[in-house]
Structure 1
């Protein structure tokens, strides 16, 4: 693939100092954003019985929350560029807290959809996007390390919340637990307070040129690209429609729909996300369905999160190696396919020991895919276009994120067995994985051909330029009777 685009930050990131406090804040914020919807599945069986709803209906709670988090990404990005990361994260934490308090007063499942799903989901979006973005403003050389540490917040928080939620439920019931969770999530406001804006008054040496974007966390490009575009105001004259289009184009690059790599990623990921979250959502209920006690079922999520926590930074180091980095799309394709194989084999696991083995292998698969998800997109479109790319992808992926768990829940309701749900999720993951392998083979081949053609054109231009120089030398010699031309 082509190298990542050169990104002119206009300053030198500190690569440390207060940046490590920002990493701590991002660790907390990202942890709550990704782990909160998954950890709430502990309450699903009891809430389902309380409201007398089906598996598919209760699955909509996490599904709406995840979909709202994805849909709120572009809105969060715009607010970050307007107000900075700190206030957006603090508002997001307050929104999730209010959502959980209101949900504890709910009398219908619709009430939970609106409070936990919509309000809480948008609050998580306001936590996730700014946390990912601000790391790229503080780090460049050490950015892979900083992002690896921040992204481990998700499995760490999940491994903590899984047993904690079971304890809260046994002590206070689901309503009291939601009140306690509403107070705990206010820690996101503390995390936001740590996200002090970076000091951009550091200069370049003229000979150094702009720093090169080396392709760590994809969100780094979002901050730089959108803010750079925002610096160019729309023209004062011209039709109102043209001004509106110019304003939209600052944030969304629709020409990406003509980019082969982006279309490959988008096509496969839309199918993939139908089976991405459902296995996590139904892991604890599946264990309870097999007769496992509540704490042992919650422990499965902790095991899953523990393995996920360790594999993410390891995947980042492997992906940055000189052997894998030039063909990282194959590594991404393997991670997607590996997830599918895990789900297809899950129904073969017998007893609690079998579920523990599945949780371990699924944690490996999920962590690998999560670590590569944004890196694969940046590798395809380049850092300078990633801001638009991630906005378009998250908006389109809202559909499968929203519908995936309810469809899986409908399969459980229909067959009264979880194995068909895991079969479906396995197919939703394995087919895109094979698709990625095939399409990226041809895409790599096409890119290599284009690079060779470009190199040939440059070589021909150099030869033509040298010939022209030689001809000019001969002209000067004959005109002035010189032996040499300086």
Structure 2
């Protein structure tokens, strides 16, 4: 029974690696993220199938019904800092499991609403919060399991959204004709309950370079043993060669001990790495009073110094991560990248929400119009896989590749408003799906790149990024619905998406210059004074180090002379003692 408990604890405990594994349990996390994409973004983008049913059921307009999706997306992104705080406080696994429960609860509750306002709460707030608590921690921990393959694995795992759109759109269309849209929501909610199991797969990861730490410990132990042996031998030599009276008068025992120790120490540390030797010497010096007493201090004093510093503690104390870090807002590159996400989000959800109604208004048969989402989904899978391979091969900055995809996506959104027949719409859906796959699968993992914020600050920065992005998610679908109500043309909804995507491309192009400092050339007088003070402080520290080195070299020369004198004790005289001392 005890063995079973330990096995279960081992399977559920953290995964410890010496470096980022680029695999291992990360593949299980990738599978979990695949299904998270299926039942979060994949389900949200497939809700356009029920748009006309909700308008008929509650007698509402396009803009009123589209607020369901808008509120859901807004809560999903705006509460991202909350997901970051909860993940840092309780861990990724319980947060994702609780999020899966909220998603299922909100979707099932939507089957029993009597007005669109109640659906704002069930799907918009309850399920939206669950989407955030499920999606954000999963993609964050997935990025920690991979380094070199991060772009490819993220693209593969995020393709679950595309497969969901491909399968769910025609399936929901057929299912609602058989059992009605309310029972269809119950079925969707029950399927989304599987996210609780996906959360159980998210084992935390710990990176511990065990070999380096053990190497440092062994070097310290070896040096301590050498110092102890040297001290004991020194005492024996001083007791044999020098009488107690001469020792009391001249203090020769201490000088001899120090000289011997210095010579032996130079011999024993000559083969070691200079940086390691210096670090170990400094560590031993900190445990004593410094100066010549470092090698002449009795062993019990050394042990006492070690106990004062806590000999049982680890060499490197783990730092508890901040619950929420807004310091990324001081980074110009992050600000530009966040503004890119803010405006680009205008084109993320409205096309999938209105493409079916746009197809019907252009003369496409209702049964064939549902396949427009499937065309988008298949192309999106290809786009996600392609961008993963491309980003692993290219030598240029990945943000430049992303910028090219965003510009092309803006042009495709404009083309939606111009085509008038089935094949033209199908071609636009194909191009849009491919480009949307490239952008949608990379814009969040791109934060882990060093020229944006880096992997160390990603857990906190992704929450702030999605919070900024949330306002466009709230405004996008209602703005598109308002344009449709005013113009009675579903093509006008795609104009707002194109404008937002174009503005996003401008800010994405500014990420590189902002990171390299071209946007910060003008410095205030206060900043210049602070930099001057830092430079002066560095110069003073450099001079102090030079003085210490010169003192150390001087004491070494003195010890060498004393060592030569000690080798011929028969010729020792008080006059020589006076000259040397």
Give your verdict on TM over 0.5. Answer: yes
State how far apart, in whole Å, the 1-side matches of 2:345 and 2:430 are.
21
Residue 443, structure 1, aligned to residue 514, structure 2: yes
Matched, 1:72 2:79: yes
TM (norm. structure 1) is 0.78
SS state at 1:382 partner = coil
Find out whether 1:334 has 2:341 as its counterpart.
no
State the alpha-carbon separation in 1 of the partners of residues 166 and 61 from structure 2: 27
Of 438, 448, 452, the residue aligned with 1:368 is 438
Residue aligning to 1:218: none
CA spacing shift, 1:114–1:384, aligned 2, 3 Å: same
Do the aligned partners of residues 395 and 190 (structure 1) sit closer, same or farther apart at CA in structure 2, a change above 3 Å counting? Answer: same
2:94 to 87, 94, 116: 87
Query: For each residue in 1:189-247, what CA deviation from the matched residue of structure 2 results, as whole angstroms up to 9, or x when unmatched?
Result: 2222333445x4965321899xxxxxxxxxxxxxxxxx96536xxxxxxxxxxxxxxxx
**Cα deviation digits, residues 152-180 of structure 1 (max 9, x gap):** 11111221111111111111111111111
Structure 2 gaps of 5+ residues are: 1-15, 216-316, 522-534, 559-581
Match of residue 164 from structure 1: 171
Unaligned runs of 5+ in 1: 1-8, 210-226, 232-249, 451-456, 481-486
Alignment partner, residue 206 of structure 1: 212
Asked if 1 retains the 8 angstrom alpha-carbon contact of 2:68 and 2:123, the reply is yes
CA distance in 1, matches of 2:141, 2:353: 29
Bigger Cα displacement from structure 2, 104-113 vs 65-74:
65-74
Residue 96 of structure 2 is aligned to residue 96 of structure 1 = no
CA distance in 2, matches of 1:284, 1:145: 31
Q: CA deviation at 1:449?
A: 11
**Residue of structure 2 equivalent to 1:294:** 366
Query: After superposition, where does 1:26-65 map in structure 2 within 5 Å?
Result: 26-65=33-72
TM-score normalised per structure 2: 0.66
**Counterpart in the other structure of 1:454:** none
CA distance in 2: counterparts of 1:138 and 1:271, whole angstroms: 30
Residues of 1 paired with 2:171 and 2:44: CA distance?
A: 14
Question: Equivalent residue of 2:211, what SS?
Answer: coil
1:111 and 2:118 correspond:
yes
Name the stretch that deviates more: 44-53 or 294-303: 294-303
CA contact (8 A) 2:380 2:433 kept: yes
- Asked if 1 retains the 8 angstrom alpha-carbon contact of 2:38 and 2:160, the reply is yes
2: CA distance, partners of 1:442 / 1:23: 33
Take 1:61 and 1:386, find their aligned partners in 2: how far apart are those partners?
A: 30
In 2, the alpha carbon distance for the partners of 1:281 and 1:358 equals: 15
Q: How does 1:393-432 map to 2 (within 5 A)?
A: 393-432=465-504
The aligned residue for residue 352 of structure 1 is: 422
Structure 1 pair 257/91, CA: closer, same or farther in 2 (3 Å)? closer
Are 1:135 and 2:205 matched, yes or no? no
| Matched position secondary structure for 2:463 | helix
Structure 1 residues 253 and 84: alpha-carbon distance in aligned structure 2, compared to 1, 3 A threshold = closer
Is 1:388 equivalent to 2:460 in the alignment?
Answer: yes
Question: Paired residue for 2:192, among 159, 178, 185?
Answer: 185
RMSD over aligned CA atoms reads: 3.2
Distance 2:164 2:386 in 1: 19
